[in-house]
Structures are given as C-alpha cells and as structure tokens.
Amino acid sequence: MQNPEDRLIEILKGNGIDFLSTLPCDRIKFLLERIKKEFNHIPLTREEEGVGISAGIALAGKRPAMFVQSSGIGNMINALLSLTGFYELPLAIFISQRGIYREGIAAQFPMGQRLPKILSGAGIAYSTISTPDDLDLIERKLPAVFKQNRIHAFLLSPAVFEGICDTAMPVPPACPVRGRDASEDKKRQPPKFTRYELLKLIASQLDSRIVVCNLGIPSKELFAIHHQPSNFYMLGSMGMATPIGLGISLSTDKEVVVIDGDGSILMNPGTLATAAHFNPSNLTILAVDNSSYGSTGEQPTLTGSCVDLELLARGFGIGHVVRASGKKQLIDAIKRPVNGLKFIHAPALPGNAKVPNIPLHHLEVKREVMEFIKS
C-alpha cells in the first residue's frame, strides 16, 4: 500500500499545485517537511496572511494551496469570505483536524470538533479524510477547485498519517539578519541555553509575579521547573501570550512577566505596538527566540533568516529593549527597574525538555491566577 504522504504529494503534483503555504502542526510535521522540499513553499506567521498570499497567487493565474491546523481556521474566515470567496478565487485548504482522534490537548477540542459546522455555516465546502483510502476523495474533488474557482477544505484526521516516522527534524540554521551589517552579529553573544535551561536560570526571578507562559511545551517546562499559583499556562490560542499579559498588566498593579516565543510573536506582532502605546511599567515581555516552532516539531521560524526581534520591538516603539543570552545578562535584565514596558530578547538554542503534561485542569489554572490577582 502506498504511503499516505507519498499519495497526497502525488495528488498535489498531479493537479499542478504551484505554491503551498503552511503553518506547523505536530500531527503532520513530516508531511510538511516533505512539502517544503518538493514544492514552492511559503512559511506563514498567521493563517489569514496565507489567504491574502494565496489570493495574489490565484490572481496571477497560479494554483495555491494551504496546510493549516484546525485551531487556526478562526483566523481565516473573514478573509476567506470577503476576499477569496468574494472575488471567486480558487483555494484548496488542507486542515489538520485536531480534537477528534487521540487528542491530548483539551484546548484543541472546541475548534476541532465544531469545525464541520463552522465551515458549513460559512458556506465553505469540505471533505472529511478519515483513512488513507479517503485520499482518493481529494483526487476527485481537487480539480473542481481550480476549474470552478471555489474554496474547498479537506479535513485531515491525524489517523491518516499515524505511525509515519522520519529522520529527526532539522535544526534551523543560524543566519545573519538581513538589513544589519553582518559584523554586528559577530559582536553579539550567541545563544548559550535551551529554553528549558533559560527558564531554570530565571525561575527565582518569577516568584510572586504573574507569569503568562506561551502554549505547549514552554508551559509544561515552566510547570516542571517553577510552578506557582500565579502562573497562567496557555494550552491553546497561539499568538495570544503577549495580548493576555498586556491585558492583565493594564488591570492590576502587580508585576506581570510574559514568556513568549518567536513563532508566537511573529503570528501577532501588532500587539507589540499596542503594548508600546500603553507602555505599562509592570509588564516585562521575555521573548525566548530559538528560531523554531518548538511545540510542533522544530520547524524553523523566520528569526533564523531575516527577522530580528530586538529591532522589531524597537521599531514598534518599545523604549526599553535589551538582548540577553548569558545568565548574568538575563537575570540583570529581568531585575532592572525601568519606567515603562520592558522587552527582553533572549536568543536560545532549539530543543525541548522531556517533561510530563501539566496535571491541572485549565479552569483550576484560571481560578488560581484570578485568586492571586485579587489577593
């Protein structure tokens, strides 16, 4: 029997797909790695961005497709209806449907399970791909997407690609950032610690502070290292760590620390402008930058090739920005009092620690944080 990855790639090539835009998902990470090598690949920072890029590709007479996770469909609906659908442009969307098969993350259930009704309500046609044999349905449905200029979503169950293994995911290369003299990179200290090691170094500085931690493995690592009732562990909603921390900081006098990541910040960078506008003195954003989507398979982010988060933060108007990669630098940066918002760019080595899942119900996490804020 043909490997499901091989079969799907064969179908895509057979239908003349010109460009594939993707955001990572752990359940199809090896498939996405294959796609990067075999197609014109566009790495995205947010799903809605991919809708716009795909519209431009279609306007140029080419054939676009997207691979996204079900949790990101909510970011696409308006653009799909007011742009792709409104202008009758073709777009094939392949959705890794979470929350339906051996799902270990409860935050994936609401969107994943309701997705068919959401698509139906939006008037977007879809097909459910539950087994490898269902891939034939893609072959039958895909030609009409481009012949009739329509949107069609293919809901890919994780069961289709279960058991597929590959070599280890590649480590993102260290690249000088375009737009800055390469000699500046040589003056900077390179990353010394993984995210887990970095969190261990700063753990004591988080005592009695409200800590909003980025979703997935970062939250699990923080729980294993330094659990406290004031820690808000994110289980879903990528890109929302800094917005949540900003909202808390504007609502309390207590110190707030956001532990965010490069992939998360790139997904919702405009929040840095909003944070700079309010400039709360009780908010610190610790941007752990390992140039990879650590929770979904170590796919590289664009901070490894062209984005400097330090310059990004300054460009959005944050006045107190520091780059810190060594132990003393990190601790001094967190402890240093400033009059206004503080942004710490912390380069890190890629990699995840093997830590267990957080044994707390998400409503218990919410209750403990709310009680701490009130206290």
Phi and psi, residue 288, nearest 5°: -80, 110
**In whole angstroms, what is the distance from residue 97 CA to residue 99 CA?**
7
Per-residue pLDDT, averaged over 282-303, amounts to: 89
**In whole angstroms, what is the distance from residue 83 CA to residue 65 CA?**
15
Helix (H, G, I), strand (E, B) or coil at 207: coil
User: Tokens in use for 302?
Assistant: 């664009």
What local confidence, expressed as pLDDT, does residue 176 receive? 52
Q: What global pTM score does this model have?
A: 0.80
- What would the pLDDT profile of 94-123 be if each residue is shown by its tens digit? 999 999 999 988 889 999 999 999 999 999
**In whole angstroms, what is the distance from residue 92 CA to residue 366 CA?**
38
- What would the pLDDT profile of 337-364 be if each residue is shown by its tens digit? 999 999 999 999 999 999 999 999 999 9
**In whole angstroms, what is the distance from residue 351 CA to residue 168 CA?**
12
What local confidence, expressed as pLDDT, does residue 237 receive? 82
The yes-or-no verdict on residue 174 having pLDDT over 60 is no
Domain ranges of the chain: 4-161, 183-374
Alpha helices in 316-361 (DSSP H): 327-335
What local confidence, expressed as pLDDT, does residue 168 receive? 54
**How does the average pLDDT of the chain come out, rounded?**
91
* pLDDT band with cut points at 50, 70 and 90 for residue 7: very high
**In whole angstroms, what is the distance from residue 208 CA to residue 227 CA?**
11
- Which residue is listed with tokens 């979904």? 296
User: Tokens in use for 356?
Assistant: 């267990």
Burial 15-26 (b: 16+ CB within 10 A, else e): bebebbbbbbbb
What local confidence, expressed as pLDDT, does residue 173 receive? 55
* pLDDT band with cut points at 50, 70 and 90 for residue 317: very high
What local confidence, expressed as pLDDT, does residue 160 receive? 95
The yes-or-no verdict on residue 185 having pLDDT over 90 is no
Look at the domain 4-161 and name its fold: Rossmann fold (3.40.50)
What local confidence, expressed as pLDDT, does residue 104 receive? 85
User: Tokens in use for 43?
Assistant: 């790495």
* 66-75, 249-258, 288-297: the lowest-pLDDT one: 288-297
Per-residue pLDDT, averaged over 34-55, amounts to: 91
- What would the pLDDT profile of 245-268 be if each residue is shown by its tens digit? 999 999 999 999 999 999 999 998
What local confidence, expressed as pLDDT, does residue 230 receive? 96
CATH of 183-374, one of 3.20.20.70, 3.40.50.970, 1.10.357.140, 3.40.190.10: 3.40.50.970
What local confidence, expressed as pLDDT, does residue 238 receive? 85
184-to-177, 190, 213, 325, 364 alpha-carbon distances in Å:
10, 12, 30, 15, 46
Per-residue pLDDT, averaged over 214-234, amounts to: 95
Q: Do domains 4-161 and 183-374 have the same CATH topology?
A: yes
Per-residue pLDDT, averaged over 132-140, amounts to: 97
What local confidence, expressed as pLDDT, does residue 239 receive? 87
